[in-house]
Structure 1
C-alpha cells in the first residue's frame, strides 16, 4: 500500500541511512531512550558532553548541570518567544557559553558539537517520534545530533494530486497541528524544518512564511527538475547529510532584526541560506584559502539574495583562522545599494563592521591596516592617486578580500583601476545579476577567472530563480502611447523662429538636434496627461485591490515633477512621492530666492493644475535626496501596507538596490535596455506575503515598447563572451604599436613639460585640421584598446604616455559649446512650439503580453550573434570624433522618424536592431570621409588676438589662433538678447570659457578668464 509512511517517510530515511562517509544511525521513535515529554535524548547528550569536554569527562555530574541549563533556555521561550529562545540556544550550540568547570573554578567553553571532526558526533535519524507538551504529537522524521533534535520533517502522501509540500509545511505553521505554537519548546534547539509529499521538497527556518521556504538543489542543475521521488531523495541527501547540516549550523544560520512597518516594533527573524548562496559563499572561502585564482564572478539573478550571500561569505572569511584576521571590503556603486547592504549586515549584528563614511576615512582604513568588514561605495576611491613607482599600493596584504556588488559600470573605469592599484594582492569577487559583455565594458574580463568555464564561478539564472520560487515571474503588458506629430506646422514654426533670430545653418542644426530628442516628445503635456490618467485608472482597478503598491519610471527629473502633480491630483498627494537626485537638478531656482530652493517648474505645475501652493515640494525632494535617514523613513512608509503612500516616481534612483517586496507593478515610461532594463524590472519580482495577500507575479506596464529589448538582454552565449575576453590578449599585442603610432605625431616634444607651454609645443606638431583629424583617429583606436585592456597591470608602463596623449587630444578637439548656448537662449521657446503640435492618438492595450517565467525562452539566432560581433567591431574601431559639415535636418522630419522608430520598437525590434547596425557602419564611413568647417568672424578674431597678446606677449600666433577660434564661437552664440538676465545664460558662457581655457592649459589664469569674459560681454 502506498502512503506517506511507506513511500515518502521511509524513502527519505533509507536514503539517509545509506549515505557514504559520516552516516545516520536509525532508531525508531518507539525505541528512543527518552520519555514522551523529553526533548533531548539525555543519554546521548551526556555522552557527547563527556567526550567533547575533558573537564566534564573528569566529573560527569557536570553534564547534568549543562543539560539543566539547556532546559532553562527552552523554558524561557514562553517569555522570550520562539525565535529569541532559538537564538539563545544557538549560542550554546556554537560553543559561545562557558561554565566554571575548570581547575580552581575556571570557566571553560562548553562544546555540544564537534564541527572540526564530524566522526566525534552521534547522528541519529528517527521516525514517528512521540512528544507531549500542550498537545500530543508524533513527528514524522527527527534528526538528532548528540541527542539534540536539530531537524524535523513532515511528509505527506505522494499519491493524492491535491497534496503538496505546503501541506507538510502547514503542520509547522498553522492548522490543527501548528507545531511552532502548540509544541513550541521542541523547536527551541531547531536548525531547520523540511516538508515533502514525495514529489517536491522544501525547507525553512522556524516561523518562516511559505515564501521563505525553498528547495535544495545545486546550481549545476540548470534545466527543469522533474518532480518525483528521485528529486526528493536527491534534495534530502544534499541538505540533510551531516556535513551540510553542520556547515549550515556553524556558518549560515542567521538572526536578524527587520522592520515590519513604519510604526511597528522591529521583529527578530531567523534566516537560512538558499542553496545558491550556500554554494557561492563556500566557493569564495575555498578559493581565497587556496590562494588562486584571486578572483571570481558570481552571476545570480536579480532578487535572489546577493546581499545575504555577501554577508555569509564575509562572516565565514572573518571566522576562518587560516586567513589570519582578514579584511573584507564590500564595495557597491550606488548609495541605495550601500544602504541596502548596510542594513542587511547591520540587522544581523555582524561583528567588526565599519561603514566607511568618506574618501579620507577609506584611505585611512586601508593604510592603517584595519581588520574587519568595511562597507563602502566605489566612489570613495576617487581621491586615490595611482603611483606607478609604488607597486605595493596602499596595502599589499594578501588577506584582503573585496566583494563587489553589481559588478559593472564603475568597475571598468578609473575608479576600479584605482581600487586595484591600492590593493595589489587582494582577492576580487564580483556579484551581479546583469553582467556586461561588451569589448570596453566587460564584467567577465574583470572578475571572471580563466579557470572557470564560461568565465563565471557560480551562476544562478532567472529560470532557476523562478523555478525555485526564489523570485516571482514578471509579466510585461505593453500599453503603447501612440503620438501624433503635426510635421508641417512644426516646420513652419521652426522656420519663423530661425529667421526671427537670424540663425545660421550650424545654429539651426544645433537647435534642431537638441529639440528633436525623444525626451521632448515624451514630456509633451498632452501625452503626460494621457499616460498619468491611464496609470491612475490601472492602479486603482488592478493594484490597490491586491493591497500592493507600484513605481512609476519616467524619462528624467523634469518628468518626475510633471508626473507627480498629475498623479497627485488624481490619487491624492499622500499617495504619491518623488525620489530623485536633485544635486544637479535641471529645474532652476527663481530670481530673488536667496536659498535657491524654490523651483520655477515646480511652481508652474502647481499653477497649471490649479493647485494651492502649501509647501515647497522641491525643497522636500532635495532633503529626501540628501538625507539618508529621510529616504529610509520614506521607503519604510512605502513598504508598510498600512501607510497611505502608494506610488513612488523615479527616473534613476531606486532602480537598483531597492528591495520592497510590496512593489507589485512598475509603470515604465523610460527607454531602458540590457542590464539596466533587467535591474529595473526586478524591482517587482520580490516575494511578498502577509496575512491578507501573497504576490505570485510582478507586473510591468510598458508605455514605450521597452519589453522587446528583453529578449536580447536575457540572451547569453558563452562562446561569444569567451571570444570577447580572449580577444583582449590580441589587443595587448596591438596596444604598444598603436601607442607608438600616436606618439610619432610629436617627435622631440618634452612630455614632462606642463601647462600652457607643454600643450603649445605638442600642438605645433599637428598644425592643420587634416593632421589633427589623423591624430584624433589614431588616438580613438588607442582609447578603445585601453578601455578593453584596463585594469590589467599590463598597462602600467604605458600609463604616463597615455595620460599625456589624452590631454593633448582634449586640447586639440573642438569645444562644441555653440549648441548648448543656442539652446539656453531658444530651447524653451522651441519646446513649447513642439508641444503645441504634438498630440496623442490613443494608448494601445491590444498588443500581446509577455510573461518572463521559468518556461520563457530567450535566445539569439546565429545571424543575430553574427551581428553582435559586427557591433563589437564597430564599437572598437568606430568613431570617436566627428568631422561632418553641419547640415540642418528639418525638425519635423527628425521628429517623424523618431515617432516611427518609437512605435516600431514594439512590432519589429530585431529588424530595427539590424537597421541600426547598418546605419552605424555607414555613419562611421561618412564621418571619416568628411572634414570640419570652421566659422569665424575676422573682426572678433582681431580684437581677441589683441587681448591675448596683452596677456601672454610670448605666445606664438598658431596657438593664439586655436584659442581665438574657440572663444569666437562663444561670442557668436551669445548674441541673443537677454542672455545676461536669464538663469542659465551667464553660467553656460562661463562654463564654455572655462572648458576652452583649460584645454589650452590656461584654466587657472583668473586674470585671463576675467578679461575674456569681459570681452564676450562687450559683444552683447
Structure 2
C-alpha cells in the first residue's frame, strides 16, 4: 500500500484546523486568479511576475482604513515591489504592517499613519471584524531564474505573512529538511520574503517556527503546547488569529549585532514575561514583580519589549518608563535596540544631573540609565503613579543605599526586577525576593529556569572538569581566604569579588606563582589544541587579576602562536609597564570582540578577568579555563558565557554543551560555591565524568546490537547484511540518532586514556555508520558527516582496508546488466549501486532531460524498495529495465542524429500523440540555441517558452495538454540546475 503523501497527512489537516479557528480557505485556483494568473499561460509563466498579494482585497482594505489615502493600493503595491528583497526590505515591510508607514494628507497638509491591519480586531464581535483572514496552498512564484511553491500560506487583508512547510513524518530528519527548503526559498526566491514574516516546518509531530531572514538553527524553536505532540493543538495555538497579530505587532524584533542587521522572534517564555510585566505594571493594586529568567534566555529583548508595550499602552496615560541597567556596554546596546523600534520619546540619562532633571521636569517617555545615577537623589522627586521602573540584574543593582534612594525618589512608581541568576539562600537573595517578589506567593511574577532553558534548547548544559591536583589551590587556603568568608557569600558582581580577592594574599600568590603560571599555560595550550580546536570552537582563560592575564599571555605565546590569544581588560594611567603592554584602545577592543565571534578569524582564546564575564555573547565560545576564585552570581554569570547554542550549516557543527576546566578547585565544593537551591544547582553544571559514564553505558548497552551485524570484518556479505538490515527507514533513523550521540561524546572526551578499551568497537561502529550513510543518504545531508576526531579514526581504518567500499559506481551502458549479474554481492547492494550510478550519470550529463527523468524514477524505485513496497528482485529488475530502455533510447537517438534535449522533446511529443513530432522537436532545439542565456535572463526565458509553446501548439489543438508538456520539460530542466 502506498504511503500517504505530505498533503494528505499534514497539509490538508493544517488547512482544516486553520478554517476551524477563523481563517477562510482559498483554493489554489482561486488564489491564482486573484493574483492575476492567466489560465491559458503555462504554469511556470503564470507564476512569473504575478502579484505576491491579493491586489483587489488589499486595495479595498487600504481604501476602507485610509479614506484620505488618495493614491490607494496601486501606488502602495508599486512601493512594495520596490522594496529590496532582503532583510532590509523586510524590516521596512514590518513597519508598514505595524501601521507606521506614512502618506501625505493633501487636504490637511500633514503626514498620517497608513493603516494596513486593524489590531483591535480580535476583541470585536465576529460580524464587526474589519480584517480579512485567509489561508491557501501551493503558493507559486517564479522570478525568471527559480520557481518556488510554498505549501501553506496565511494572508491578512491580502498580504502573505506566514508560510508553513509540510513534510511527511516518515522521512528521515523531516523537519530539518523542511527548514532546509525554507533556506532554499530564501536563496532562490527572496522576493517572497519581503512580506512574509514567519515560517514553520512540521511533520505532524514536531512543529518548529522562526522568522524569515533568520534560519540559523539556534533561532528556530519548537512551539510548546499543553497537548504535547498534537498537530491540531499546535496549529490552533500558533496560528490563532490573535497570536499571529501579536507576533506581527509586538514580537518580531530587528537589532544590530556586530554591525549586521538581525531579525529575531520573542519566544514563549519571553512573550509570557512581557505580558505579565505589562499586566502587573498597569495593576492599580500591586506595584512590584520579579521576572526570573536564566542567563542567555533573551532577557534584554524581554525588557525592551515590555518597555515599548508600556510606553504605547493607552491605559498607561503617557507614562515614564525607566530602563535601568548595570553595564555601560549594555546601556549602549539597549539604546540602539530601542531606537530601532522607532520610538520618538527616548532619552539617555547619562549623568545624575540629567536624570534628576528629566524626572523633575516630568518627562514622559522611555529613559535609559544606570542604577548608580540614583545616588543622592532627592526624595519625592516625582510622585506620579504611572512611572514604571524596569531594573536589570535586580539581584544586585538595588542592594543597599542605591535601592533606598531610588524608591524614596519615586515613591508611587511600579518596580519590576529582572534577574538572570537563581535567587540564592543568602541575605542578598532574600532581599531580592523581599524587594520585588513580595506581592507574589511564589516570590516571582514569571520564571524561566535553567532546566526550562536547557530543555528548550535556549541554552546548553554545562560540564566541568578539574585540572591536575598539583595545579589546584590548596583546600585550606581556598576555604580560609575565600569560601568560608561571610562577606563572600552571595557576592553579586565582579567589582565586589575583586575587593575580597585583594585581601586573599596567599591565594593570589599561589595562583600567580611563576612555575604554576607556566604549567597552567602549557596545560591550557595542550587541552585547547587536542580537545577544543578540533571541535572548531573558542575559549576564555580567566585570570585572577589583570597582572595574571598579562603573565598568562606571555606564557601562552610560548606554546601557541601569538595570534591565537588576546588580553582584554580595562587599563589605567598608573599601570605598570607589564599591564600597559596590553592596553587596548576602544576601536581595537571592538575589533577583537567581533573577530572572536567568527569561526574563521583570530583570536581563538581571550584572556580576561572582569571584562566580558557578564553580558558578552559569543556562541562560538565553548570552553572556559577558570583560574579565578568565583562563587554565587559571579560564578554563574561567568560560566554562562559558554552556554549559548551554536550551529554552522556549512561546517555542519552543532555545539553540544559548554565546558569549564577548573584550575582553582571551586567545583570540588560546588554546594558551597553556588549557594542556590539544590534543584537549581543540579541543572546548572555537571561533572564531565558523567559524559564518560554515558559513553561507557552506550558502548556497552546500545553498541553491541549493531556490532553483532559484522561477522566477517566488513567483507561483501557483511555490507549486504547491513544494507538489508537498515533497509527500514525507521530502523536506520534510530541508528543514525544513536551513533550521533555516541560520536559527540567521543569528540568531547577524546583524547583521554579512558577511551582506550572502546577504540576498536567505536571504530567498527563508525564504519557501520559510514556504510549505511553512503548507501542510503539523499542529496540533502542533514548533520551526517563525521566530526573531526572520528573522521581521522575512520580514515585510519579505511586506509588499512578495514572497510570495503559500499558504493561501486557502475558505467551505465550495454554491459551494465552483465556486470550486475557477474558481480559478487547481494541484490540490495546492487540496487543501491545502480541508483547511485544512474544519479551520477544524470549529474554528469545534466543537459539531458531523459537522464534526469530516469534518475527520478530510479530514486522512486529505491524509496519503494526501502519501504518494502517492492521486493528486492522486482526493484533490481525495474532498474535493469531502465538501463535497457536507456540503451534503446541512445540507439534511436543516434540514428536520428538528435542530442539529448531534442530526443527527449521528440519522445515526449510522440508519446503524447503530437503529429510531426520529429519536426517540432527540431524547432524546439533551435529555440534553445537561439536563447543560450535562458537560465540567466528572465526575458530570454520568457521568449524561449513562447517559442517552445507555439512550436508544439502548431501541431495540436489541445492547449491544456501542450501547456502540461512544456511545463514538464522546463520542470525537468530546472531540476537539472540543482543536481
Give the equivalent residue in structure 1 for 2:60.
Answer: 47
Give the equivalent residue in structure 2 for 1:773.
Answer: none
Q: CA–CA distance in 1 between the matches of 2:117 and 2:600?
A: 45
Q: For 1:167-186, what aligned pairs fall within 5 Å after superposition? A: 167-173=177-183, 178-186=184-192
**1:85 pairs with 2:50:** no
Q: Which of 95, 100, 116 pairs up with 2:99? A: 95
Give the equivalent residue in structure 2 for 1:66.
Answer: 72
Q: CA–CA distance in 2 between the matches of 1:353 and 1:29?
A: 47
Give the equivalent residue in structure 2 for 1:159.
Answer: 170
Q: CA–CA distance in 1 between the matches of 2:296 and 2:692?
A: 17
Aligned length: 637
**1:700 pairs with 2:660:** yes
Distance 1:473 1:13, change over 3 A: farther
Q: Give the RMSD, CA atoms, in angstroms.
A: 3.4
Distance 1:145 1:596, change over 3 A: closer
Give the equivalent residue in structure 1 for 2:28.
Answer: 29
What SS does structure 1 have at the residue aligned with 2:87? helix
What SS does structure 2 have at the residue aligned with 1:310? helix
Q: CA–CA distance in 2 between the matches of 1:141 and 1:14?
A: 12
Q: CA–CA distance in 2 between the matches of 1:852 and 1:321?
A: 57
Q: Which of 442, 448, 458 pairs up with 1:454? A: 442
**1:112 pairs with 2:112:** no
Give the equivalent residue in structure 2 for 1:639.
Answer: 597
> What's the CA shift for 1:552?
0.9
Q: CA–CA distance in 2 between the matches of 1:258 and 1:719?
A: 31
Distance 1:619 1:298, change over 3 A: same
> What's the CA shift for 1:48?
2.1
Q: CA–CA distance in 2 between the matches of 1:166 and 1:447?
A: 45
| Structure 2 unaligned blocks of 5 or more | 38-46, 123-128, 476-501, 695-979
**1:269 pairs with 2:110:** no
Note if contact 2:164-2:199 (Cα within 8 Å) is conserved in structure 1: yes
Give the equivalent residue in structure 1 for 2:399.
Answer: 412
**Structure 1-normalised TM-score?**
0.58
Give the equivalent residue in structure 1 for 2:213.
Answer: 207
What SS does structure 2 have at the residue aligned with 1:571? coil
> What's the CA shift for 1:450?
4.1
> What's the CA shift for 1:533?
0.5
Structure ranking higher on relative contact order (CA contacts 8 Å, 6+ apart): 1
**1:188 pairs with 2:194:** yes
**Structure 2-normalised TM-score?**
0.60
Q: Which of 400, 415, 420 pairs up with 1:428? A: 415
> What's the CA shift for 1:322?
2.6
Note if contact 1:336-1:658 (Cα within 8 Å) is conserved in structure 2: no
Distance 1:353 1:12, change over 3 A: same
> What's the CA shift for 1:849?
4.8
Distance 1:514 1:288, change over 3 A: closer
Deviations 1:673-700, CA, capped at 9 Å, x for gaps: 3322221111011233444444332221
Q: For 1:806-885, what aligned pairs fall within 5 Å after superposition? A: 848-849=689-690
Distance 1:619 1:45, change over 3 A: same
> What's the CA shift for 1:367?
2.0
> What's the CA shift for 1:380?
2.1
> What's the CA shift for 1:545?
3.5
Q: CA–CA distance in 1 between the matches of 2:424 and 2:54?
A: 56
Note if contact 2:540-2:608 (Cα within 8 Å) is conserved in structure 1: yes
Q: CA–CA distance in 1 between the matches of 2:104 and 2:341?
A: 30
What SS does structure 2 have at the residue aligned with 1:570? coil
> What's the CA shift for 1:851?
10
> What's the CA shift for 1:514?
7.0
Give the equivalent residue in structure 1 for 2:357.
Answer: 364
Deviations 1:482-537, CA, capped at 9 Å, x for gaps: 259999xxxxxxxxxxxxxxxxxxxxxxxxx9787433323222222211101011
**1:75 pairs with 2:81:** yes
Note if contact 2:471-2:664 (Cα within 8 Å) is conserved in structure 1: no
Distance 1:568 1:395, change over 3 A: farther
> What's the CA shift for 1:318?
1.8
Note if contact 2:624-2:659 (Cα within 8 Å) is conserved in structure 1: yes
Give the equivalent residue in structure 1 for 2:13.
Answer: 11
**1:321 pairs with 2:314:** yes
> What's the CA shift for 1:852?
14
Q: CA–CA distance in 1 between the matches of 2:447 and 2:472?
A: 45
Q: For 1:207-356, what aligned pairs fall within 5 Å after superposition? A: 207-215=213-221, 217=223, 228=229, 230=230, 232-259=231-258, 266-345=259-338, 351-356=344-349
Note if contact 2:375-2:405 (Cα within 8 Å) is conserved in structure 1: yes
Q: CA–CA distance in 1 between the matches of 2:451 and 2:472?
A: 40
Note if contact 1:435-1:444 (Cα within 8 Å) is conserved in structure 2: no
Q: Which of 152, 177, 192 pairs up with 1:141? A: 152
Distance 1:111 1:646, change over 3 A: same
> What's the CA shift for 1:197?
1.6
Q: CA–CA distance in 2 between the matches of 1:679 and 1:580?
A: 17
Deviations 1:16-51, CA, capped at 9 Å, x for gaps: 3223xxx21222323324234231112322332243
Distance 1:709 1:153, change over 3 A: farther
Q: CA–CA distance in 2 between the matches of 1:852 and 1:283?
A: 42
> What's the CA shift for 1:243?
0.7
Q: CA–CA distance in 2 between the matches of 1:103 and 1:364?
A: 40
Q: CA–CA distance in 1 between the matches of 2:576 and 2:554?
A: 16
**1:598 pairs with 2:576:** yes
